[in-house]
Amino acid sequence: MPSPLGDKIRARRIQLEMSLEDLAIATGSSKGYLWELENRDKANPSADKLIKIAAALGVTTEFILDESPEVEPEASVLDEAFFRRYKKLDSKRKDKVQKFLDMWEDED
């Protein structure tokens, strides 16, 4: 009896071709616990774990917490997650990223 929260974590993890151990390392958790989150019906992680898992999976915490069982994060959700990371970059790195966009937009 997996929870929608667990289904989303597993689906996204597999989509990124990560093992439980990969995710455990990326999020500073034990893989045993991550397995429980994905497969046990009472999944109730702490804010701290939630934030780290969402970051490692490149999705928003909102997406993971949402009760509706859509396992495929719609593109907009992924974009928002990216944007939150982007905003934290220093300006030099932001410029680097923008250079890529300039280049790509010139291609077509």
Dist CA 82 CA 84 (whole Å):
5
Q: How far is the CB of 104 from a second copy (least distance, A)?
A: 6
42 binds DNA (CB under 7 A): yes
How many other C-beta atoms are found inside a 10 Å radius of the C-beta of residue 55? 16
Q: How far is the CB of 43 from DNA (least distance, A)?
A: 8
18 binds a second copy (CB under 8 A): no
User: Contact at 8 Å (CB) between 52 and 37?
Assistant: no
Task: Write out the two tokens for 61.
Answer: 């915490």
Position 39: which residue type?
N
48 binds DNA (CB under 7 A): yes
88 binds a second copy (CB under 8 A): yes
Binder among 15, 16, 25, 32 for DNA (CB under 7 A): 32
Q: How far is the CB of 45 from DNA (least distance, A)?
A: 3
User: Contact at 8 Å (CB) between 37 and 2?
Assistant: no
